[in-house]
Amino acid sequence: MEFEFFIVVTLTGLLATYLHLVMGQWAGRIGLPRLDFSRVMANLTYGESFEGEPSYWAGQIAVFFNGVFFAFLYATVVAPYLPGEPIVRGFLYGIILYIGSGLFFIPIYLKEGVFLSHVDSKAWIPLLMVHLIFGLVCGWLSPILGYTAP
């Protein structure tokens, strides 16, 4: 893995995660449930380590590490097997992340129901939006390991 590849994928993951977080926070502005991923990750990751509320920034760091990890997962493992142009691949990756999050992570670890059904009946909409944004940014900007354009 070349250093340039590592840097570009890392920066792509950071940008995609930032936009993911911003969209989750802004969802309330368009009449949808607000998604505060940093607070959730702080409580999930560090909740028992702190006396009182865990640091919001600890949650931010956890979310950004996850974002970079998922950008590398896209660039090295998933993208070579997805069909289409880069944006289509990113869109499909966002759908994959949405389904994985909604069917596995949220109900099992967060105990908030399938696709956040225990939070709000419309919570699946911003959840889909943030994952699509993440996937589209990865598809748009991320190189794919070992892939050469035809």
Report pLDDT for 44: 84
Three-class HEC string of 26-45: HHHHHCCCCCCHHHHHHHHH
Q: Is-contact 13 68, C-beta < 8 A?
A: yes
Report pLDDT for 55: 83
Q: Is-contact 45 56, C-beta < 8 A?
A: no
In a domain, 150, yes or no: no
What's the number of domains the chain is made of? Answer: 1
Read off the tokens for 92.
Answer: 């499909």
Domain range for 50 is 3-141
Report pLDDT for 1: 65
In a domain, 146, yes or no: no
In a domain, 113, yes or no: yes
pLDDT along the chain (150 residues), means of 10: 90 97 93 90 79 83 96 95 94 96 90 87 93 97 74
In a domain, 104, yes or no: yes
- Quote the CA–CA distance of 61 and 58 in Å, as a whole number: 5
DSSP letter for 30, please.
G
DSSP, collapsed to helix, strand or coil, labels residue 25 as helix
In a domain, 95, yes or no: yes
In a domain, 22, yes or no: yes
In a domain, 148, yes or no: no
Phi/psi class of residue 53: alpha, beta or left (left: φ > 0; alpha: ψ in -120 to 50)? beta
Q: Which residues contact 59 (CB under 8 A, 6 or more apart)?
A: 37, 38, 39, 40, 41, 42, 43, 45, 46
In a domain, 43, yes or no: yes
Report pLDDT for 147: 62
